[in-house]
Amino acid sequence: MKRYTASLAATCCLIAMSSIAQTPYKIVDQWKLGGTGGWDYLLADGAAHRLYITHNGRVEVVDTATGKAVGAVTGLKSTHGVALDPDGKTGYISDGAGNAVVIFDRSTFAVLATIPAGTNPDGIAYEPTTKTVWAFNGRSNNVSVIDPAKKEVVATIALPGKPEFPQVDGKGSIFVNIEDKNSIVKLDAAGKKAVATWALPGCESPSGMALDSDHSRLFSVCDGNKMPVTDAKTGKQIALATIGAGPDAAGYDAKAQLAFSSNGETGTLSVVDAANGYKTVQTLATKKGARTMAYDATNNRIYLMTAEYGAPAAGSKRPSVLPDTFTVLVVGK
């Protein structure tokens, strides 16, 4: 009887977990922010109910409880990424065209310091064991390690190619996609050095990356509709999931063990079940151009950026972003 009860309980648990994983996502809200020009990465601060959105030469700050803008960090040249200090007081922005990292006050949104970095800093991350900020420079193919207390670069680490989005495991390791080499580099925070380079078979031009720290898995999103899953300890590929076209960002829900890919070309959000064979269990229609996103674990929401497009500007092949159509899509269950 005990065996039957235990078996039945385990089966019920698996069914419940499967149900959680397969409950479909949907667009539950849209927040129109307006403004002009394009955007890059987003970052959710669930505890503070805020969403940071890099938007040309500024970073928009949105209250996720109301969908209303509460302020902006301004005066920059071309923003790409945002990282937050665990102190709850300060944040860090990669200003690509300014070749700098900007420290800002999260209460007033005032710029506190501007620190020269490499050429075109893009991805950025805060590393908690060393209390350093890592800015990945897309054109100089290196990473600037910044001590925010000293407000200076304390190390510059060469990389084998163009870095894209990084992830930090909180235990002293940093991982970053190398876009033009179809690989991942692992870095040691304490030693301030690269310690491994891992190939990404079946991947072309990896951009966004998500991390499952509980199971040591990295999810990269690539051209060619692929999401390679990499063992963060050994560098070996575990799986190669199928996603939508034109991905640029990835996210991960640790509770449901779901990985996400925002696909700008197809205008979809791919949901991959990391607990059951890395199958794509949902393809949600979003909007063409919605290529970057942020996952908020506190409310199980996904935020994607999008806009309306017009004809390309003179001398450009890219469609232009129509003024005042800058919008956040809110995805939930």
Q: What is the CATH number of the domain that holds 259?
A: 2.130.10.10
- Exposure string for 268-282, b = 16+ CB within 10 A, e = fewer: bbbbbbbeeebebbb
Q: In this structure, are 306 and 173 located in the same domain? A: no
Q: Which of 183, 199, 215 lies at the terminal end of a domain, its last residue?
A: 199
Contact predicate 175/185, CB 8 Å: yes
Q: In this structure, are 192 and 211 located in the same domain? A: no
Average pLDDT estimate for 116-145:
98
Q: In this structure, are 311 and 260 located in the same domain? A: yes
Q: In this structure, are 193 and 46 located in the same domain? A: yes
Q: In this structure, are 96 and 172 located in the same domain? A: yes
Q: Alpha-carbon distance 176 to 157, whole Å?
A: 13
In a domain, 7, yes or no: no
Q: Which of 141, 167, 199 lies at the terminal end of a domain, its last residue?
A: 199
**Domain of 121, in residue numbers:** 40-199
- Over residues 85-102, the pLDDT tens digits come to 999 999 999 999 999 999
Q: In this structure, are 55 and 86 located in the same domain? A: yes
In a domain, 113, yes or no: yes
Q: In this structure, are 53 and 193 located in the same domain? A: yes
Q: In this structure, are 190 and 309 located in the same domain? A: no
Q: In this structure, are 193 and 60 located in the same domain? A: yes
Q: Which of 184, 199, 214 lies at the terminal end of a domain, its last residue?
A: 199
Q: Alpha-carbon distance 160 to 233, whole Å?
A: 20
In a domain, 12, yes or no: no
Q: Return the pLDDT at 7.
A: 42
Dihedral, 55, 47, 301, 226 alpha carbons, nearest 10: 70
- In sign, the C-alpha dihedral spanning 46, 50, 51, 54 is negative
Q: Return the pLDDT at 23.
A: 75
Domain count, the chain: 2
Q: Alpha-carbon distance 64 to 328, whole Å?
A: 10
In a domain, 103, yes or no: yes
pTM (2 decimals)? Answer: 0.92
Enter the tokens of residue 135.
């800015």
Q: In this structure, are 230 and 310 located in the same domain? A: yes
Q: In this structure, are 66 and 209 located in the same domain? A: no
Most distant CA pair in the chain, distance:
76
Average pLDDT estimate for 135-140:
98
- Over residues 264-315, the pLDDT tens digits come to 999 999 999 999 999 999 999 999 999 999 999 999 999 999 999 888 888 7
In a domain, 287, yes or no: yes
In a domain, 55, yes or no: yes
Q: In this structure, are 174 and 214 located in the same domain? A: no
